[in-house]
Amino acid sequence: MSDNINRRRFFGSAAMTLAAAQLSIGATASAETAKPAKSPVTIKPGANTAFASLKQIDAGLLNVGYAEAGPADGPPVILLHGWPYDIYSFVDVAPLLAAAGHRVIIPYLRGYGSTRLLSEATMRNGQPAAIATDVIALMDALKIEKATLAGFDWGARTANIVAALWPERVKAMVSVSGYLIGSQQAGKMPLPPKAELQWWYQFYFATERGREGYDTYRRDFSRLIWQLASPQWYFDDATFERSAAAFDNPDHVAIVIHNYRWRLGLAEGEAKYDAYEARLAQAPVITVPTITMEGDANGAPHPQPSAYAAKFSGRYSHRTIKGGIGHNLPQEAPKAFADAILDVAAAS
């Protein structure tokens, strides 16, 4: 789930009722008013169940599995998923962007789907800077100099980091839940008991029992997260299973557990990322054109958009998507997500 300098962003525990997790954001923070550039086609959420093209490519430390759609010479858009989700969060978004002429790249992050670390000797590292460098390596491998990035959860944080550290590689960005750059220092700060309760699964992952439990029950665990994070999204078994297959990746558990332990300062990262993490710990302002988004029924606690609007110094606006939309916004509201990408890319 999404991380930032305020750990209250995480969704409520299983002890909380789903109804209590339905947070409504009434206000929006906006630095611009623009006429939306609507997608030329309309797709009902869940209309698509597969990607036309799945590929593999060596990129940096990884052999990356990714879906591709749209013309090869179109303006590139890279869509980044979160945990516990996968590329199918964008299965209805990709055709909308492709129809508008974009080249759409949707990679499995390290530890998901068909993406594999090339060497057994490579640390199964889930720290944020490592995942961000994977995106740069993928862009290099695909000979993409500059792209629009869009994502949610881990994917939004990764897009934020790439935009902050390598702004010359990012044309524009769409980020669900806003500004998600955090640090180990922030993760070590204790919170009041009610706030700590929201981190139930992260504390569980900090234990060996948690690692073994997630490994044994990763589908049950992930389904629970989906239900808590999107309490008004009534996904069917087939939808869940399409994504859950990505969690069978042999490195999935190690990378997920390392990610959450690293955030609490309970696991070391790699020294080669120290300089990046030091910069990120300063909560750098993002300069690229950005649209942030939020669902009106996101079960993951999150601040009002006004709390992070100042972290974006370029062309910026926020959109709250209504209609019972939860944490997995691209899959629950694909047209709204695609329209945001088209708008921010067209204005950049």
Classify residue 199 as left (phi > 0), alpha (psi -120 to 50) or beta.
alpha
CATH among 2.40.160.60, 3.40.50.1820, 3.20.20.80, 3.40.190.290 for 7-346? 3.40.50.1820
CB 289 within 8 A of CB 348: yes
Residue 28 C-beta-side C-alpha neighbours within 13 Å: 17
Mean pLDDT of 113-141: 98
Q: Determine which of 127-141, 297-311, 333-347 has the lowest per-residue pLDDT on average.
A: 297-311
Residues ≥6 apart with Cβ < 8 Å to 278? none
Q: Alpha-carbon distance 116 to 230, whole Å?
A: 29
**Residue 18: pLDDT band by 50, 70, 90 thresholds?**
very low
- pLDDT-derived band at 37 (thresholds 50, 70, 90) equals low
The reported pLDDT for the residue numbered 239 is 97
* Two tokens, residue 104: 């759409």
Is residue 17 scored above 60 in pLDDT?
Answer: no
**Tokens describing residue 210:** 């948690």
Mean pLDDT of 190-195: 83
Taking the C-alpha atoms of residue 257 and residue 211, their distance in angstroms, rounded to an integer, is 7
Residue 45: its pLDDT value, please?
Answer: 87
- pLDDT tens for each residue of 296-316: 999 876 778 998 999 999 999
Tokens standing for residue 209: 């029992």
Tell me: the pLDDT tens digits for 74-99? 999 999 999 999 999 999 999 999 99
The pTM of the full predicted model, rounded to 2 decimals, is: 0.89
